Amino acid sequence: MARPPFQDFLTPDGYVKNEQVMSQGLQALKIAEENGVTLLQCISGSDLLISMHALQTEEFAVRAEVLDSASILKHCTTNAAQMLRMEGKIGTVSPGAFADLLILNVNPLDDITFLDRPEDHLLAVMKEGRIAMSSVPGLPKHE
């Protein structure tokens, strides 16, 4: 709520409270990660309303304020697989896995916030080894 274009939505008191909640939330993430707590991301729904749905992926940028890209990617992949009891099937690129993959034009380990801008960096999506979405010439979507 503190970022454009919604920064004027909150009252001045609400803005201060939002800043406090964000600061404490980031500190909690950092403490949890440093103490070996299994953190998750990307397996939850959204409580963002209507026009704010487009901001759902900004959680990568928020987490990147206190965590490195590799840790955040682990939260979305292997940690999520563990939570869902699907180790070896999801969250991994290995024989026998479902082959659910994002094909990007960047390395998210260099900067996880690239995932906040799928319109710029997502080239294709594989679901169970088949192309579900593609903007790559010569790599058609499987119908």
Q: For residues 102 and 131, is the Cβ–Cβ distance under 8 A?
A: no
pLDDT digits (tens, 9 = 90+) for 85-109: 999 999 999 999 999 999 999 999 9
| CB atoms inside a 10 Å sphere around CB 112 | 24
pLDDT at 7: 73
Taking 90 as the threshold, does the pLDDT of residue 142 lie above it? no
Question: Residue 90 and residue 45: Cα distance in Å, rounded?
Answer: 18
Cα–Cα distance list, 68 to 13, 65, 77, 112 (Å): 32, 8, 15, 8
| Range scoring the smallest mean pLDDT among 8-12, 42-46, 50-54, 106-110 | 42-46
In CATH, the architecture of 38-134 is Roll (2.30)
Average pLDDT over the chain, rounded to an integer: 86
